[in-house]
A and B are shown apart, each in its own frame.
Chain A
Amino acid sequence: TQLLEQSPQFLSIQEGENLTVYCNSSSVFSSLQWYRQEPGEGPVLLVTVVTGGEVKKLKRLTFQFGDARKDSSLHITAAQPGDTGLYLCAGEAAGGGADGLTFGKGTHLIIQP
């Protein structure tokens, strides 16, 4: 069973601050995805990283996939109240297909104005 350790599980910071969320595993993933979920809604895909060492940017969000494809990070610069939500990382097992995704426990992020 592949496990994804996501940290921190809860983070409350002031508007304008920077933050990083980590997703770590001892297993190799063929891809890793980051989702954002707002209360009462389903998760929405933010980005997929595939190549070891890959860095993707989405406005103020920077996603990185570890060289060994076992870990990933999400960095938010100058956080805004609109960034508040539950951030989930999910890894696709090597071999892919319809085996499903392994989810981290999520990071509840609150950005205070």
Chain B
Amino acid sequence: GAVVSQHPSRVICKSGTSVKIECRSLDFQATTMFWYRQFPKQSLMLMATSNEGSKATYEQGVEKDKFLINHASLTLSTLTVTSAHPEDSSFYICSAPDSKQGLNTEAFFGQGTRLTVV
């Protein structure tokens, strides 16, 4: 199957600093990528849809100035958590759909990033 690589897998930062998370599709082009947040023992919560070459689409309640998304190429999307606060501590996961012609879309997930803001 397709491979999506997410980096870093774990990061600890000080309150007030910014953290960048990268999501790469390694063997396919992804015009769209999705960013999720997951709290302990809960399901995935979609934060935003990243679109190559255009602005990201944010879900209701997600601050676009807080969570900056850049999808500059067909294989890379980045999520920057700006001015991080302890409440931003969470598990962030990206995914990219690999739509094969005539087949259904399957989502391939990155390994996730555990962000801890201290």
Chain B residues within 8 Å of A66, by CB: none
CB <8 Å contact, B104 and A100: no
| A75 partner residues in chain B, CB cutoff 8 A | none
For B54, the chain A residues whose CB sits under 8 A away are none
Residue pair A48, B104 in contact (C-beta under 8 Å): yes
How many whole Å from B23's CB to the nearest CB in chain A? 10
How many whole Å from A66's CB to the nearest CB in chain B?
A: 16
A74 contacts the other chain (CB 8 A)? no
Tell me whether A45 and B107 are in contact in the complex, defined as CB-CB below 8 angstroms, given that A40-B114, A98-B97 are known contacts. yes
Q: Which of B32, B43, B108, B111 contacts A98 (CB 8 A)?
A: B32
Q: Give the residues from 7 to 46 in chain A that come closer than 8 angstroms, CB to CB, to chain B.
A: 30-31, 33, 35, 40-45
B44 an interface residue at 8 Å Cβ cutoff? yes
Contact A98-B105, Cβ < 8 Å, known A41-B112, A42-B110, A42-B112: yes
CB pair A106–B42 under 8 Å, yes or no, is: yes
Q: Which residues of A contact B25 (CB under 8 A)?
A: none
- Determine if B74 is an interface residue (Cβ-Cβ < 8 Å): no
At the interface, yes or no: B77 with Cβ under 8 Å from chain A? Answer: no
> Given the interface contacts A42-B112, A100-B97, does A33 sit within 8 Å of B42 by beta carbon?
no
Looking at the complex, which one of A41, A103, A104 makes contact with B111 (CB distance below 8 Å)?
A41
Kindly name the residue among A42, A45, A90, A97 whose own CB sees the greatest number of chain B CB atoms within 10 A.
A42
B34, B112, B114: which contacts A100 (Cβ < 8 A)? Answer: B34
Closest residue on chain A to residue B9 by CB atoms: A40
17 pairs across A/B with beta carbons < 8 Å? A6-B43, A30-B104, A33-B107, A35-B109, A40-B114, A42-B95, A42-B109, A44-B109, A45-B1, A48-B106, A50-B104, A98-B49, A98-B99, A100-B97, A101-B97, A106-B44, A108-B41
